[in-house]
Amino acid sequence: PSRTFHGINRLLTSQLVSHYESICQGKKEIPEYFNFASDVLDKWTQLEKDGRKPANPAFWWVNGKGEEVKWSFEEFGSLSKKTANVLSEACGLQRGDRIVAILPRVPEWWLLNVACIRAGIVFFPGTSQLTAKDILYRLQASKAKCIVTNDTLAPAVESVLSGSKFLKSKLIVGQGSREGWLNFKELL
């Protein structure tokens, strides 16, 4: 049995466990390739377009000031595709390349995450509380080719750039511009 939540049937925990166990026992086929962005997000977008699924927000973010961002599945999918294009074209990233994102949990954090899944780029999230030393360590250990941060954290990143030999592009999420950085919102 399933229960309805916001008009969508959800599996009960026992069903999820049963589904997982059947996969482990080889009773269900595991896809050779799975991509959350194309196999889930894009499919839900199509279900909404076809009228087979009621329209619900795919993403709903509210900050401490009460400002909100709400995207449908179609909007979220489209924005994640555009973000993947920014990463591959403007930043020159390819499947398997690594990106470090040091951002507070703003909508762009989720866009980057899904765009990386879509493009096969390895996403390394970092908390906005990282020090310059922490940032350098993550850049060196991950061999990231791109870093994404905001206006507030950019100076800490810039202070350690000389120690990162793999970094090729820097992307800033914010209103203004910064010399030597690509502006995410402008590129999007």
Mean pLDDT, to the nearest integer, of 89-103? Answer: 96
Does a structural domain hold residue 125? yes
Contact present, 148 and 184 (Cβ < 8 Å)? yes
- For position 15, what pLDDT does the model report? 60
Average pLDDT on 142-148 reads 96
pTM of the complete model beyond 0.75:
yes
**What range does the domain containing 124 cover?**
36-183
Task: Note whether residue 23 is domain-resident.
Answer: no
Confidence of residue 46 (pLDDT cuts 50, 70, 90): very high
What's the domain count of the chain?
Answer: 1
The 10 Å Cβ neighbour count of residue 8 is 12
- Report if residue 15 sits inside a domain: no
Report d(CA 146, CA 171) in Å as an integer. 7
**Residue 168: its pLDDT value, please?**
95
Residue 100 lies in a domain: yes
Within-domain flag for 14: no
Domain assignment of residue 28, yes or no: no
CATH number at residue 115: 3.40.50.980
Res 2: pLDDT = 43
Question: CA 115, CA 148: separation in Å to the nearest integer?
Answer: 13
Domain presence at residue 64: yes
Is residue 11 a part of any domain in this protein?
no
